[in-house]
Amino acid sequence: MKMQLSEIARALEIEAKETWEDITITSVSFDSRQLEPGALFVPLIGEQDGHRYVQAALDNGASAVLWQADHPETPTAIPALVVEDTLVALQALGRYYLQKINPKVVAVTGSNGKTTTKDMIAAVLSTQFNVQKTFANFNNEIGVPMTILSMEPNTEILVVEMGMDRFGQLDELSRLAQPDVAVITMIGEAHIEFFGTRDKIADAKMEIVNGLKEDGILIYNGDEPLLVERAAKIEQATFTFGNEPKDDLQGINVVSDATKSSFRVTLWPDENFTIPMIGAYNVKNALAALSVGKEFMIDVAQMAKALENFDLTKNRTEWRTGTNDFMILSDVYNSNPTAAKEVLQAFAEVKVAGKRIAVLGDMLELGENERQMHASLAEVIDPNKISEVYLCGPLMESLATALQAKFDVDQIHCYSPEQKEQLATDLLTKLTPDDAVLLKASHGIHLEEVLTKIAKSE
């Protein structure tokens, strides 16, 4: 990004001062600790009021600041653009910059897999285009405009991840980004506490098409009836991926081992695809990426090469090495019943010389049926394949009870979230170099603290 402060002022409908013509803004930041010299600091109001940190931003090299009009004492030591609402202004600036750079936009959402799919799509498209993608999980009303504003001027395609935890959120994000391509990976139980049913989650996910251009296309999981039903009602073109013959892009011949999965698709039967991840669910994410690549007419062989080597965001089914060389499958960023069952089933097929141990933490925001949903994981935990289960959190007590019909009492271990250090210690006394351990939980349980203690430092 590179804009004169005067241009930013005009974009926000603020009268620019003459001296602002000489001030060049090279980035935008809402974190005074991490901004770079030349940045525009945007003080947002959340748990903390960002206006308190303007001096810190100035000390770190900020060149200008947005300032919310209801705050007194507008700073004089740094150029200040006074706006009614700093978040609204950030979004307006993102909208302006998007129109200025004018890339094609691919928007990605889904209950599971959106970050992995975003990474795969970016890798596929980067074989032919200059691509910018969402950093980490900057996927909300703050993260999306920040992603837009981080674009280099030569960006040809912007791949934007979009999350949601309430009705209307994807509507706002989609209208902001105005995608040319919208992708929905799947419908699960994430945030069902706030929506009540999977039907309503599907309604909320479909909001991603509200800003989809008239000549745009919706690419979605054709194996999900809730999406098929809703996609039939939109005016834009659609394209489906999945495992069924009716899908436009059907995945077949899936073979997975501890470090990779290979598959073919009926559309290009002579090409073998490989991804550096386990599980059929990740193959579906790859099918979504291939569908987007087809839309942009990427060479099939180039897509295969890109998927084989794509850069995966950390803590999404990531293999790590334990302190004494046991294998760790880390998937600690998020969890819900669908995602947990899929990774458990994939983990159970990983070849090991020793034993497989599952460490599962509470799945949050599941609503009134949360205990039944936790207990339902017992359906896919086979004591012939998973030797022991370590459970963290009060909700996992329901799973512990359900597992008692399958496991001996000394194979089930329960901990509170405050006992993660003890959990890590107990694992280290149990695991040998021949073993493999899975870590899976909602981010709020912070199983990454266990990961840090049992994994070799990178």
Residues belonging to the binding site for ATP are 110-116
Contact assessment for residue 146 and residue 187, using Cβ atoms and an 8 Å cutoff: no
Residue list, annotated binding site? 110-116
DSSP annotation of 24 reads E
Contact assessment for residue 118 and residue 184, using Cβ atoms and an 8 Å cutoff: no
Per-residue 3-state assignment (H helix, E strand, C coil) for 107-143: EEECCCCHHHHHHHHHHHHCCCCCEEECCCCCCCCCH
Closest CA to 309 of 115, 120, 116: 120
Q: Which residues pair with 263 in a beta bridge?
A: 273
Give ∠ CA 454-136-185 in degrees, rounded to 5: 100
Two tokens, residue 69: 């009009």
Angle between helix 114-125 and 280-295 (nearest 10): 40
Two tokens, residue 294: 């087809």
Q: How far apart are CA 230 and CA 198, in angstroms?
A: 13
The neighbour count for residue 252, using CB atoms within 10 Å, is 12
Q: How far apart are CA 361 and CA 444, in angstroms?
A: 9
Q: How far apart are CA 388 and CA 301, in angstroms?
A: 42
Q: In the sheet that 39-41 helps form, which strands lie side by side, from edge to edge?
A: 27-29, 39-41, 64-68, 80-83
CA quadruple 72, 60, 161, 3: dihedral, nearest 10: 80
Closest CA to 221 of 140, 163, 281, 311: 281
Give the H/E segment covering residue 428.
helix 420-430
Q: What secondary structure does DSSP assign to 207-271, as a single string?
A: GGGTT--TT-EEEEETT-HHHHHHHTT-SSEEEEEESSTTSSEEEEEEEE-SS-EEEEETTEEEE
Give ∠ CA 33-36-42 in degrees, rounded to 5: 65
Q: How far apart are CA 249 and CA 431, in angstroms?
A: 41
Please name the residue that has the structure tokens 């602002």: 20
Q: How far apart are CA 150 and CA 145, in angstroms?
A: 9
